[in-house]
């Protein structure tokens, strides 16, 4: 497993531009989270307006949150359980047939470890999640991480480094638990 890549710094915090982006997102998220659970068409319309791109067969449960929205790209048959948060100050790419259990956090954003101006700027490092990935409940995926196809992140894990394809990782920080045999795929 390798570590995160270099990020893109942003100095928008407190600017009119970021406030406008935030207002747009907050209105869409409120509408999505307040949507009648039986109104699948409206929920899908709101997600397609919010996300940069989305495949067919998407299902996201109540209490979803994100930073900007348009930096999120999901493939087909994506499922996110309750209380999913995606901080998308950088792009987040999620492949086909992925499942997130409740309380999953995807965090591209971070701040300097130096106290000077820590609260005035930050950075975003893209996150990529491959196809057929299952992320267990209460997991955190940190900036710059890439998760390979067919992998599983066990519940409660904090993923700080790349996850190879066909593996199961667990813990804080997440470490290799086992390889997934070809016949298990």
Neighbours of 140 (CB within 10 A): 20
Asked if omega into 154 is within 30° of 0 (cis), the reply is: no
Rg for the chain (alpha carbons), in Å?
16
CA dihedral of 19, 22, 26, 28, whole degrees rounded to 10: 120
Report the alpha-carbon distance of residue 10 to residue 15 in Å, rounded.
Answer: 11
- Distances from the Cα of 28 to the Cαs of 45, 69, 83, 90, in angstroms? 10, 9, 16, 19
CA angle 148, 112, 123 (to 5 degrees): 50
CB 108 within 8 A of CB 26: no
| Residue 65 a catalytic site member | no
Q: Is the dihedral of CA 110, 114, 118, 122 positive or negative?
A: negative
Task: Cite the active site residues.
Answer: 111
């Amino acid at each position: 497993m390798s570590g995160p890549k270099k990020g893109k710094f942003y100095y928008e915090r407190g600017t009119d531009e970021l406030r406008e982006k935030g207002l747009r997102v907050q209105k869409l998220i409120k509408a999505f989270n307040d949507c009648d659970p039986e109104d699948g068409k409206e929920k899908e319309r709101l997600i397609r307006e919010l996300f940069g791109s989305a495949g067919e067969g998407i299902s996201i449960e109540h209490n979803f949150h994100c930073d900007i929205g348009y930096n999120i790209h999901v493939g087909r048959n994506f499922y996110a359980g309750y209380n999913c948060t995606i901080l998308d100050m950088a792009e987040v790419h999620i492949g086909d047939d992925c499942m997130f259990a409740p309380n999953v956090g995807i965090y591209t954003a971070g701040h300097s470890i130096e106290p000077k101006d820590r609260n005035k700027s930050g950075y975003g490092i893209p996150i990529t999640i491959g196809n057929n990935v299952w992320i267990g409940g209460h997991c955190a995926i940190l900036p710059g991480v890439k998760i390979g196809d067919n992998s599983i992140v066990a519940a409660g894990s904090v993923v700080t480094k790349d996850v190879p394809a066909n593996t199961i990782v667990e813990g804080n920080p997440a470490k290799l638990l086992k390889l997934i045999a070809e016949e298990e795929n």
